[in-house]
């Protein structure tokens, strides 16, 4: 185990006054005040940076910024750390300066352009060695000077293998993280998706579930179920439940098999603390507890798993004036502190407010993969998309071809590309096997031997391509090898949404299967065009109409915060009331979700809260709203708890395209509650805690049942005076 360097022992230069960088190129727009502005202008244009005012205005300004960057020395970049809104060095930036000083000293005087040329000429070992000498800012600056070929060529040189129970990322391999998410955490559906993935050679990196309910109880149950399946199948891999780190540690304390510890990361301390509820000290503690007491302690060389992706800092308004690519590189400089087994990049997951179209998504993924591998992180890639962005399956497939050429360690196996719980679209196990055969890759060694022995994979013989190459075996796609009981298989299939058939054609789903999936995606994408029909909703409840600062659907979809703010007129009309709970209904990303679910949900919710003696204000209805609208409403009405019923981004198919979520925002007034929340989160100015109940639709949590679930959770929030991870710790008996 590598012991993390104490934060106060990491040397970081003192902040300096912003430098004005003036280009020698002719024309206007060649002057940039401060390194943040220069870095933003040098990057390829992306929606998030445009919204934040960080992108160049045109190609001439962009090339001026790139020329200036290329002339800066590494020492200059080192000596000008980026600061937060207070002008201070935050913890993420500080960790990024924990570099190999012996490797940095000889290259400090190199200009960035000279470093790029040196790396293009160098061996892979040399590139990897020098990467340990760089901060995230240096890696991001370098990426902005590289074209597509250079991003692929440089990343391809670097190998970053890791080992938990099995080896991941060895040269010549391509692995997958099997992700059997289910909208209601139904273990039967997860089981089928695992069997299906294993049958097509997926899962050698990890069996990992994102739970719909991030409770300690659910997390422990999922981990035990994954462990039983892994043992029964004899499959050499590792398991993970992607709950919050605090929840996983509580499950570990209860004896659950937390083999790999997961956490999402951001590139600024303010985003990590206020939005992701983690600090460097907390992750240090998790790292040490796993090294001492994790199920793979003494066996695994690495046991941490992080997820990142361009844009989260900007979406939450916590980017500190730093462009998306640079913030992402800072995530990698942070992640290497804990020598992770895996890092998964999910750029494209957020939507059009960060990456508008295929081109922006593809370029960002190539940058991320290069920056992460250069900085020393084992990079798995998930070029993904949501239906409200102008990103397509074809664009995603182009990204995977380029990333495989660049040497990505692994991709996701999201069955038939459709995540049934998170309502986004990712790579599939079919994609992974296709890429293996196209690029001459194989699964990890231990998993490969298991798959060969089962007949899932085979070595190519005469007339099947290159002799010895890995291809499909006679049992490829045969789910029944794991579940021979037809009655049991039928039960598993009935519990699994969007299971369009097991048939394959080569490494691909059969045409009939693909057509059903693409049809469902088209149906779901059309749901984005729907608008709230206020007259119909008036028959459900006597709503008060309010508005946000988003004046149109286009502004709402493209802005990270317009839907989170009340319009001036609505803010002026709302005044403090005596009700404990306030309900806000908004279309979010699917007005149809509101219309499909509210008639059954809202009466149960109102009646249930009333029966429990909870006072509720007159419900509010808002077009073009986002989750954080809860905070503006809570402050104006002085409510203790705001329940936002919000249409989520459409998933695949008619049912998943009408998915609603309930966000319970607990307001923390000054005093004991706020102080307890601050101590628990590490955020001294925390004002709200959130609990979410998701996947409310006919194919997930039925609307009427969801009303009762929300009532119980709201009563628990009010009784414990806590929400989110603090509530779950309280319910679990204080473990955190």
pLDDT tens column, 293-322: 999 999 999 999 999 999 999 999 999 999
The overall average pLDDT reported for the chain is 95
pLDDT for residue 27 is more than 70: no
pLDDT band at 735 (very low <50, low <70, confident <90, very high): very low
Provide the CATH number for the domain around residue 603: 3.40.50.11240
Classify residue 518 by burial, with Cβ atoms within 10 Å: 0-12, 13-18, 19+: middle
Q: Give CA separation, 465 vs 219, 399, 468, 472, in Å.
A: 44, 25, 9, 12
Q: Which of 361-365, 650-654, 711-715 has the lowest mean pLDDT?
A: 650-654
Domain membership flag for residue 310: yes
Given a cut of 60, whether residue 165 has pLDDT beyond it is yes
Let me know whether 487 and 503 are in one domain. yes
Q: Is 736 a member of any domain?
A: no
pLDDT digits (tens, 9 = 90+) for 524-568: 888 788 899 999 999 999 999 999 999 999 999 888 899 999 999
Question: Do 351 and 439 belong together in one domain?
Answer: yes
With respect to residue 2, please indicate whether it lies within any of the assigned structural domains: no
Q: Any alpha helices (H) in 1-123, and if so which ranges?
A: 35-42, 47-51, 59-71, 74-79, 91-96, 101-104, 112-121
pLDDT surpassing 90 at residue 98: yes
Please answer whether residues 107 and 130 qualify as being in contact, where contact means their C-beta atoms are separated by less than 8 angstroms: yes
Does residue 597 register a pLDDT over 50?
yes
Instruction: Note whether 153 and 168 are same-domain residues.
Output: no
561 lies in the same domain as 480: no
Give residue 650's pLDDT.
85
Residue 49 placed within a domain: yes
Mean pLDDT within 350-355: 96
| 130 shares its domain with 187 | no
Q: Is 362 helix (H, G, I), strand (E, B) or coil?
A: helix
The domain that holds 120 is classified in CATH as 1.10.220.70
pLDDT above 90 coverage of the chain, percent: 93
Average pLDDT over every residue of 695-721 = 96
- Going by pLDDT thresholds of 50, 70 and 90, the confidence category of residue 467 is low
Which residue, 473, 488, 522, sits at the end of a domain? 522
Q: With bands split at pLDDT 50, 70 and 90, how would you rate the model's confidence at 30?
A: confident
Which of 522-526, 648-652, 700-704, 732-736 is predicted least confidently?
732-736
Residues 541 and 445 in one domain: no
Q: If you compute the radius of gyration of the chain from its CA atoms, what whole number of angstroms results?
A: 25
Residue 370: what pLDDT? Answer: 98
Give the pLDDT confidence of 226-274 residue by residue, as tens digits: 999 999 999 999 999 999 999 999 999 999 999 999 999 999 999 999 9
* Residue 64 near residue 330, CB atoms below 8 Å: no
Residue 221 has what pLDDT?
Answer: 98
Exposure on the CB side of residue 611, measured as CA atoms within 13 A: 9
Instruction: Residue 277: give the domain boundaries.
Output: 163-522
- The gap between the terminal CA atoms of the chain, to the nearest Å, is 23
- Residue 1 within a domain: no
- Identify whether residues 134 and 172 lie together within a single domain: no
Predicted pLDDT of residue 23:
84
Residue finishing a domain among 489, 522, 555: 522
Evaluate whether residue 572 is within a structural domain.
yes
Whole-number pLDDT of residue 617: 97
Nearest alpha carbon to residue 6 among 326, 387, 382, 288? 288
| pLDDT class of 695 with cuts at 50, 70, 90 | very high
pLDDT-derived band at 645 (thresholds 50, 70, 90) equals: very high
Counting runs of H as helices and runs of E as strands, what totals does the chain give? Answer: 32, 22
Distance CA 716, CA 696 (A): 20
Residues 517 and 617 in one domain: no
Q: Which residues contact 177 (CB under 8 A, 6 or more apart)?
A: 203, 205, 206, 207, 208, 342, 344, 380, 410, 411, 412, 413
Q: Which of 103, 133, 157 is the last residue of a domain?
A: 157
Residue 504 sits in the same domain as residue 548:
no
Is the per-residue pLDDT at 734 higher than 60? no
pLDDT score, position 654: 75
Write down the pLDDT at residue 463: 60
Same domain for 340 and 406, yes or no, is yes
What would the mean pLDDT of 374-384 be, rounded to a whole number? 97
Same domain, 443 and 550: no
Domain total for the chain? 3
Q: Could you read off the pLDDT of 412-449 as tens digits, one per residue?
A: 999 999 999 999 999 999 999 999 999 999 999 899 99
Mean pLDDT for 509-535 is 92
Please tell me whether residues 464 and 418 are part of one structural domain: yes
Residues belonging to the chain: 736
Where residue 417 falls (left for φ over 0; alpha for ψ -120 to 50; beta otherwise) is left
pTM beyond cutoff 0.85: yes
Q: How confident is the model at residue 736 (pLDDT cuts 50, 70, 90)?
A: very low
| pLDDT band with cut points at 50, 70 and 90 for residue 462 | low
Q: What is the mean pLDDT of residues 142-154?
A: 98
């Amino acid at each position: 185990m590598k012991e993390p360097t104490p934060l106060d022992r990491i040397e970081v230069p003192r902040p300096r006054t912003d430098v004005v960088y003036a280009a020698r190129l002719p024309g206007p727009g060649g002057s940039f005040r401060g390194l943040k502005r220069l870095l933003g202008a040098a990057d390829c244009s992306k929606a998030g940076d445009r919204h934040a005012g960080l992108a160049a205005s045109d190609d001439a300004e962009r090339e001026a910024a790139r020329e200036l960057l290329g002339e800066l020395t590494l020492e200059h970049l080192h000596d000008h750390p980026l600061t937060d809104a207070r002008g201070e060095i935050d913890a993420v930036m500080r960790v990024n300066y924990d570099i190999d000083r012996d490797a940095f000293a000889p290259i400090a005087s190199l200009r960035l352009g000279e470093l790029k040329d040196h790396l293009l000429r160098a061996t892979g070992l040399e590139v990897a060695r020098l990467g340990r000498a760089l901060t995230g800012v240096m890696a991001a600056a370098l990426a902005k000077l590289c074209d597509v070929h250079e991003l692929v060529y440089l990343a391809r040189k670097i190998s970053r293998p890791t080992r938990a129970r099995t080896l991941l990322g060895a040269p010549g391999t391509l692995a997958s993280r099997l992700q059997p998410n289910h909208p209601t955490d139904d273990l039967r559906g997860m089981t089928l998706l695992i069997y299906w993935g294993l049958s097509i050679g997926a899962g050698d990196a990890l069996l990992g579930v994102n739970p719909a309910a991030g409770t300690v109880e659910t997390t422990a149950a999922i981990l035990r179920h994954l462990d039983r399946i892994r043992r029964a199948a004899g499959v050499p891999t590792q398991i993970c439940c992607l709950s919050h780190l605090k929840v996983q540690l509580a499950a570990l304390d209860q004896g659950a098999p937390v083999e790999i510890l997961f956490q999402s990361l951001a590139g600024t301390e303010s985003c990590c603390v206020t939005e992701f509820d983690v600090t460097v000290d907390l992750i240090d503690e998790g790292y040490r507890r796993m090294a001492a007491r994790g199920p793979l302690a003494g066996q695994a060389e690495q046991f941490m798993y992080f997820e990142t992706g361009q844009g989260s800092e900007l979406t939450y308004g916590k980017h500190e004036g730093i462009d998306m690519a640079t913030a992402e590189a800072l995530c990698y400089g942070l992640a290497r502190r804990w020598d992770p087994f895996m890092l998964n990049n999910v750029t494209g997951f957020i939507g059009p407010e960060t990456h508008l179209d295929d081109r922006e998504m593809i370029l960002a993924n190539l940058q991320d993969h290069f920056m992460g591998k250069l900085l020393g992180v084992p990079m798995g890639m998930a070029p993904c998309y949501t239906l409200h962005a102008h990103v397509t399956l074809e664009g995603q497939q182009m990204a995977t071809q380029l990333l495989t050429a660049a040497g990505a360690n692994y991709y996701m196996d999201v069955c038939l590309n459709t995540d049934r719980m998170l309502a986004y679209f990712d790579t599939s196990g079919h994609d992974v096997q296709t890429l293996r055969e196209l690029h001459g890759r194989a699964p990890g060694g231990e998993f490969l031997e298991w798959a060969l022995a089962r007949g899932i994979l085979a070595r190519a013989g005469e007339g099947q391509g290159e002799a010895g190459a890995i291809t499909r075996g006679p049992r490829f796609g045969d789910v029944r090898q794991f579940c021979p009981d037809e009655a049991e298989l039928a039960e598993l299939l009935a519990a699994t949404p969007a299971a369009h058939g097991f048939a394959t054609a080569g490494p691909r789903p059969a045409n009939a299967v693909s057509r059903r999936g693409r049809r469902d995606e088209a149906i779901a994408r059309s749901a984005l065009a729907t608008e709230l029909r206020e007259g119909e909703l008036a028959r459900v409840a006597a709503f008060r109409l309010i508005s946000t600062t988003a004046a149109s659907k286009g502004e709402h979809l493209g802005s990270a915060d317009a839907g989170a703010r009340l319009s001036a007129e609505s803010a002026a009309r709302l005044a403090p009331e005596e009700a404990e709970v306030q309900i806000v209904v908004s279309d979010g990303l699917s007005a149809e979700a509101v219309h499909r679910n509210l008639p059954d949900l809202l009466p149960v919710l109102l009646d249930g809260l009333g029966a429990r003696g909870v006072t509720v204000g007159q419900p509010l209805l808002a077009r073009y709203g986002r989750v954080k609208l809860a905070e503006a409403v809570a402050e104006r009405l002085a409510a203790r708890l705001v329940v936002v019923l919000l249409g989520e981004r459409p998933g695949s198919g008619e049912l998943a395209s009408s998915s609603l979520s309930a966000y319970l925002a607990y307001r923390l007034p000054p005093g004991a509650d706020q102080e307890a929340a601050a101590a628990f989160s590490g955020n001294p100015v925390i004002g709200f805690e959130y609990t979410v109940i998701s996947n409310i639709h006919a194919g997930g949590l039925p609307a009427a049942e969801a009303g009762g679930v929300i009532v119980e959770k709201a009563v628990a929030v009010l009784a414990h005076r806590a929400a989110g991870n603090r509530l779950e710790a309280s319910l679990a008996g204080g473990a955190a």
